[in-house]
C-alpha cells in the first residue's frame, strides 16, 4: 500500500454491474468484466477483494474465471483478499482453509475473510494454515450492514461485546509481530465513532463501505482514530462503475487512493 496507494478494490461482478457495462449476465460477460478489471488495475492497485459468490453462481466455469483472476493479480504484484466469509468447525473449516490458503491451491490468496460466529476457536484450522502458508485472515468483527449489530454488539457475561471479543482474540494472534501481524478484522467504514472499541490489534483493518455504501475517505480518521494507518479501505462500485473503459477504471482507483492519502496524512 505504501508503494501502490492505500486502496483495496473489490471485484464484484454482480448482474446489475455487468448490465451497466453492456454485458450479458453469463459466463462471457463474467470473463469480459473480470479480465478488464485485471488488465486495467493489476499493476497499479495494492489490494484486490474478489467476492467469491459472484463467481460461484456460474458454477465451475465461474470458479475457473476466479482462479485465473487470482493468479494474474498476484503475478502482477497485487495482494488478493478472497471475500468468501467462510466459517464452520473442525474438518470442514479445515477444508475451506485448504481451498483458499494452501499454497498449491488454484485459489490460493494472500488473505481470506472468515466468520467467527461459531466461536473464535472454530477458526483454528484457518489460523494455523494461514500461518504455515504466510497468508492472513480478515475476521468479521464490526461489519457495515445494520443487521450485524444484533450479534456483534451483544454483551457477553463478562461485560464485553461480541465484536470487542473478536478484536481481543486478533490482538492476541498478532502479539509481538513486526511491523504487524497478518490477522485482521473487518470493520465497516460506515459505523461512525468506534472509540468504545480497541482497534489496536497490531494487524490490518479491512474497511468496506466507502463509495456506494455512503462512507468517504474523509470519514476514516473519525471512525478508526489512532488505528487509521492500519486501515485497508475497500471500494467496489465506486471504481467498477467506471468500466468498461480501462483508463476510467484506473483514474477512479487513483482518485480514491489520493483521497485516502489526504485523509490519513499519508
Provide the annotated active-site residues: 85
* First-to-final CA distance of the chain: 10
> Looking at the chain, how many residues does it have?
266
Q: Are 206 and 232 in contact (CB under 8 A)?
A: yes
Helices and strands (H and E) in the chain: how many:
11, 8
Please state, as a whole number, how many other Cβ atoms lie within 10 Å of the Cβ of residue 244: 16
Nearest to 255 by CA among 206, 224, 229, 217: 217
Cell representation of residue 186: 473487518
Please state, in angstroms and rounded to a whole number, the distance separating the CA atoms of residues 175 and 173.
6
CA 135 to chain centre: 13
Helix (H) / strand (E) containing 20: helix 15-20
Amino acid at each position: 500500500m505504501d508503494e501502490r496507494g492505500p486502496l483495496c478494490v473489490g471485484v464484484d461482478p454482480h448482474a446489475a454491474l455487468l448490465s451497466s457495462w453492456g454485458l450479458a449476465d453469463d459466463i462471457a460477460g463474467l470473463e469480459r468484466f473480470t479480465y478488464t478489471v485485471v488488465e486495467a488495475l493489476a499493476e497499479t492497485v495494492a489490494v484486490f477483494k474478489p467476492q467469491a459468490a459472484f463467481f460461484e453462481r456460474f458454477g465451475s466455469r465461474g470458479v475457473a474465471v476466479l482462479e485465473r483472476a487470482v493468479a494474474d493479480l498476484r503475478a502482477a504484484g497485487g495482494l488478493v483478499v478472497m471475500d468468501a466469509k467462510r466459517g464452520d468447525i473442525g474438518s470442514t473449516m479445515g477444508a475451506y482453509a485448504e481451498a483458499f490458503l494452501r499454497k498449491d491451491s488454484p485459489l490460493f490468496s494472500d488473505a481470506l475473510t472468515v466468520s467467527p460466529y461459531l466461536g473464535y476457536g472454530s477458526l483454528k484450522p484457518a489460523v494455523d494454515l494461514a500461518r504455515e502458508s504466510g497468508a492472513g485472515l480478515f475476521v468479521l468483527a464490526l461489519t457495515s450492514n445494520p443487521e450485524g449489530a444484533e450479534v456483534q454488539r451483544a454483551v457477553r457475561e463478562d461485560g464485553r461485546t461480541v465484536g470487542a471479543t473478536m478484536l481481543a482474540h486478533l490482538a492476541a494472534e498478532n502479539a509481538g509481530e513486526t511491523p504487524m501481524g497478518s490477522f485482521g478484522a473487518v470493520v465497516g467504514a460506515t459505523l461512525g465513532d468506534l472509540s468504545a472499541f480497541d482497534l489496536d490489534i497490531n494487524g490490518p483493518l479491512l474497511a468496506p463501505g466507502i463509495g456506494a455504501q455512503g462512507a468517504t475517505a474523509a470519514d476514516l480518521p473519525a471512525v478508526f482514530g489512532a488505528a487509521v494507518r492500519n486501515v485497508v479501505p475497500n471500494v467496489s462500485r465506486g471504481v467498477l462503475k467506471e468500466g468498461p473503459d480501462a483508463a476510467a477504471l484506473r483514474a477512479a482507483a487513483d482518485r480514491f487512493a489520493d483521497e485516502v492519502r489526504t485523509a490519513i496524512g499519508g
